[in-house]
Structure 1
Amino acid sequence: MVPFKVNIFAMVVYVLESMAIITQSSFTVAVLCREWVHSKKLSPVEMILVSLSICHFCQQWASVVYNFCSFAKPNYIFWNLALIWEFTNILTFWLTSLLALFYCVKISSFTHQIFCWLRWRILKLVPWLILGTLILACVTVIPSAIINHNWMELLSVDYSPRNSTFSERFKFFFQSFSKPHKIIGLGIPFLIFLVSVILLVASLVQHWGQMQRYNISNRNSGMKAQATALRSLAIFFIFFTSYFLTVLISFLVPIFEKRAWFWVCEAVIYGIVCIHSTSLMLSNPTLKKAPEAA
């Protein structure tokens, strides 16, 4: 049993993390939209960051409202908010995998013709890929929407032995289908992210080896740049993987079944989201210079 003071502390931490994520997301969208107004264009990375920030903003508000308003009776109210959270969460995974794929294509030194073709076309493909991730997230969340609708219909009917039997069957179907569906929906974009990161690391290591053939001054500066890239990539990988694992665990072991640990789990999950969001902000030159410009 988690002590009451620990739960209160975790709740306060969760609220502070939520405020930080909402502020970061609003700041990112505001700065990059201002940049778009001034220059009439956004880089592909900035397009993805804007989309990710909008996702984080909507996801965090859905999480806050759902957690505080429906914690007492999670099965009866605010199912639509849970659906919004699931949709934005899946979309966040797809957009993050798209960001990793973009970096892999642009930075890697592979000379295979597939990479060469992607490197040539990626700038024009990014807007369409963002639209594709939105469509994929919509398609992925459809089964959850159907299940939620049927579950709400079931809860609204009068109790009877027949309805009780049907309820038990539906609950079994829900548990048998919902969890694998959610795992697959998050697992596919995470697998793309993982493959992109592995290929990018392999390319950086290969390039690092090639730097040994250059003169000392170029080699030192090149190795420093490679070390910085690998460090940033490691941070990106660690926190996104941690987020995937925590969300996966929360799906496999529903938090509402472990009510004593609810706020602790939420604080851990969104602490990782906050750090991941911060690392993405610090990786963008426009966002890093914005406070100085202000």
Structure 2
Amino acid sequence: MPAKMESILMVIAAGEFTMGVLANTFIALVNCMDWIKSKKIASIDLILTSLAISRICLLCVILLDCFILVLCPEVYTSGKQMKIIDFFWTVNNHLSVWFATCLSICYFLKIANFFHPLFLWMKWRIDRVILWILLGCLAFSVLISLPVTENLNDDFRLCVKAKQKMNLTLRCRVSKAQYASTKVLLNLLTLLPFSVSLISFLLLILSLWRHTRQMQLHGIGYRDPSTAAHVEAMKAVISFLFLFVAYYLAFLVATSSYFMPETELAVLWGELIALIYPSSHSFILILRNNKLRQASLRVLWKLKFILKRRKF
């Protein structure tokens, strides 16, 4: 790959990383400060904080992988360092998706209007068990990352950078079946939380439709707090679904680069697209959350005031 192209891609990656870390750090700090002041934390705030921390780690791992690929490609031929990076990437990848799914479920349980006994039971229990659910997501992500990382690393990382420098054709062909099956399993596991979020979104649409019908029957206008809450929750969930599809495709490109002729370029482009998901979705969450939006406005106002004072 030309050095100029590498430099441009790395600058873009660094910019996406910086924006993502700032947004997620802001979410975590605001919720933690509010937690310290009030000595309690709402379930949605706890999920947002956990999601922000997992995304900061994910952004760091992706950027580190980009820099290693460009600046220290020889690391790809050694298994130990890359196994550690692969492990943390897989863990934080699954954590960020599962935590976002928990957020979608929490929006659904807090806002939707259903009278099914199972829904009412889940709505009543969610605040009490949310911490255990998040810890369960962490344990599940770690457990599936250990065997996946062990199977993915050995031949894949060697072929990424070194396949054009040495005769690895036979070795790569032999391991394709094993690598492909591992990759498919990994991606299918990631699709499970996506399906849950999609179901939550569809149920929110159903709840909104039933609510608007009731409003019509009673001759009440549409602009009530429940309708507004439904719409805001749906916007938050659909933004996650849309960005996750883009991230999922980028993740496929990065992991499938093993089969592509321009492996290094494919990995970099896949990781650049992958960085968009944990960065931009965090800004959307800030704009959709009243507390975070108000806090961001206060920060911007203070920065504007400081800049004006320094200017004059």
Pair in the same fold by TM > 0.5: yes
The one-letter code matched in structure 1 to 2:214 is: Q
C-alpha RMSD over aligned residues = 3.0
Q: Give the AA of the match of 2:205.
A: V
Paired residue for 2:107?
103
Which of 274, 279, 290 is the matching residue for 1:269?
274
* Cα deviation code 1:125-168 (max 9, x no counterpart): 1111001101110111121233267669x99xxxxxxxx99956
Which residue in the other structure is 1:288 paired with? Answer: 293
Instruction: Name 2:306's counterpart in structure 1.
Output: none
User: What count of residue pairs does the alignment treat as equivalent?
Assistant: 283
Cα distance, 1:256–1:292 mapped onto 2, change above 3 Å? farther
With normalisation by structure 1, the TM-score equals 0.83
Residue 219 (structure 1) aligns with: 222
Cα distance per residue 1:164-187 (max 9 Å; x no partner): 999568723542332122112211
Structure 1 residues without counterparts, runs of 5 or longer: 156-163
- Counterpart position of 2:165: none
> How far apart are residue 251 of structure 1 and its match?
3.0
Which structure has the higher relative contact order (CA within 8 Å, separation 6+)? Answer: 1
Contact 2:155 2:172 (8 Å CA) reproduced: no
Partner of 2:283: 278
Q: One-letter code of the match for 1:29?
A: A
The aligned residue for residue 252 of structure 2 is 248
SS of residue in 2 equivalent to 1:212: helix
> Cα distance, 1:249 vs. partner?
4.0
From the superposition, tell whether residues 256 and 113 of structure 1 become closer, same or farther in structure 2 (CA, over 3 Å): farther
1:53, distance to aligned residue in structure 2 (A): 0.9
Displacement of 1:240 in angstroms is 2.7
Task: State the one-letter code of the partner of 1:258.
Answer: T
CA gap of 1:90–1:257, structure 2 versus 1, over 3 A, is farther
Query: In structure 1, which of residues 166, 171, 179 is the aligned counterpart of residue 183 of structure 2?
Result: 179
Q: TM-score, normalization: structure 2?
A: 0.79
Deviation for aligned residue 1:27: 1.7
| Partner secondary structure for residue 136 of structure 1 | helix
1:1-294 correspondence to structure 2 within 5 Å:
7-71=6-70, 72-73=73-74, 74-76=76-78, 78-79=81-82, 80-147=84-151, 171-216=175-220, 218-221=221-224, 226-254=230-258, 257-294=262-299
> Counterpart of 1:121 in structure 2: which amino acid?
R
Name the structure 2 match of 1:159. none
Give the direction of change, closer, same or farther, for the CA distance of 1:7–1:148 in structure 2 (3 Å limit): closer
Amino acid at match of 2:213: G
1:110 aligned counterpart, secondary structure: coil
Bigger drift between 142-151 and 178-187 goes to: 142-151
Q: C-alpha distance in 2, partners of 1:282/1:167?
A: 50
Q: What 5-or-longer segments of structure 2 have no aligned partner?
A: 160-167, 300-312
Q: How far apart, in 2, do the equivalents of 1:256 and 1:39 lie?
A: 56
2:255 partner amino acid: F
| Counterpart-to-counterpart distance in 1, 2:216 and 2:229 | 14
